[in-house]
Amino acid sequence: MNHSHQKPVVYIVSDSVGETAELVVKAVASQYNSGNVEIRRVPYVSETERIVEIMREAEHENCMVAYTLVLPELRKTMEQEAERRDIPVADIMGPAMGSFARILGKAPHLEPGRVRRLDEDYFRRIAAVEFAVKYDDGKDPRGILMADVVLIGVSRTSKTPLSMYLANRRLLVANLPLVPEVEPPEELFWASSAKIIGLTVDPHQLQKIRRERLNSLGLDVHANYASLKRIVEEIEYARRVMKQVGCIVFDVSNMAVEEAATQILQVVKEGDYVEN
């Protein structure tokens, strides 16, 4: 298939965040004065099926795949798929790992993300923050199944700040707004209720917060979004969803983000999601 008219795409496939491969790809692209390349990062690839899926998609593009995969079965699948579909690939870490093995006289630790293990804490924190951004505000419901913690609640119940705070504690957090007019994604009901945290707040306090929000945006503070009737309706709807899910519910009225996060961490630790 002739892809010459399409904008070139570089897939970055990694069993970790994909930062290393992206740096290399950007350095190479700069040699071609090429801002004209679309970079698509596919992080946290841990299954051979996912590689087949990516390569199937890539086959129809004018593209190459740069990858940092350390597990042998993932590397092998990538090599086979690339050959079978005639997709150019760049193994970013493989050659260096092979050379290291020769001079050190031993095989590498086959552990994804080992590159940053010198400062594992920092690395996991960055990965968790990236996860929180990607799965903020229900943007992609698949995050619900991958997350350690899922925060649900109506608009302006501190879901995003709490997600960021918990991400800094290395937890993978997804959050989802509950709106009466929008059916919650089915993933919410597939996920373990033990990792879902419902957030609720006093209606009068929420009205104040929403009015401030509208005011800061230069919008009418008397909009339906900030009416007490609408807020009570939303909170009641959210409570019904939380009851259906069977999750724990926190009332975050007059609670600082740090305080709410500490309580959530307590629950999560009891559920054994986080390594001490």
CATH of the domain at 60: 3.40.50
Residue 26's pLDDT is: 85
Q: Give yes or no for a contact between 152 and 241, defined as CB atoms under 8 angstroms apart.
A: yes
pLDDT < 70: residue spans in the chain: 1-5, 33-35, 106-120, 270-276
Residue 269's pLDDT is: 74
In a domain, 1, yes or no: no
Q: Which positions ≥6 away from 263 have C-beta within 8 Å?
A: 250
Domain boundary among 87, 112, 137: 112
Please check whether residues 100 and 236 belong to one and the same domain.
no
Domain boundary among 75, 90, 112: 112
Residue 100's pLDDT is: 79
Instruction: Determine the structural domain holding residue 98 and report its residue range.
Output: 9-112
Please check whether residues 212 and 257 belong to one and the same domain.
yes
Three-state DSSP class for 27? helix
Tell me how far apart the alpha carbons of residues 227 and 224 are, in angstroms, rounded to a whole number.
5
Residue 37's pLDDT is: 83
In a domain, 60, yes or no: yes
Please check whether residues 99 and 179 belong to one and the same domain.
no
Tell me how far apart the alpha carbons of residues 232 and 235 are, in angstroms, rounded to a whole number.
5
Give the tokens for residue 215.
């005011």
Q: Give yes or no for a contact between 49 and 23, defined as CB atoms under 8 angstroms apart.
A: no
Q: Number of C-alpha atoms within 13 angstroms, CB side, residue 241?
A: 28
In a domain, 249, yes or no: yes
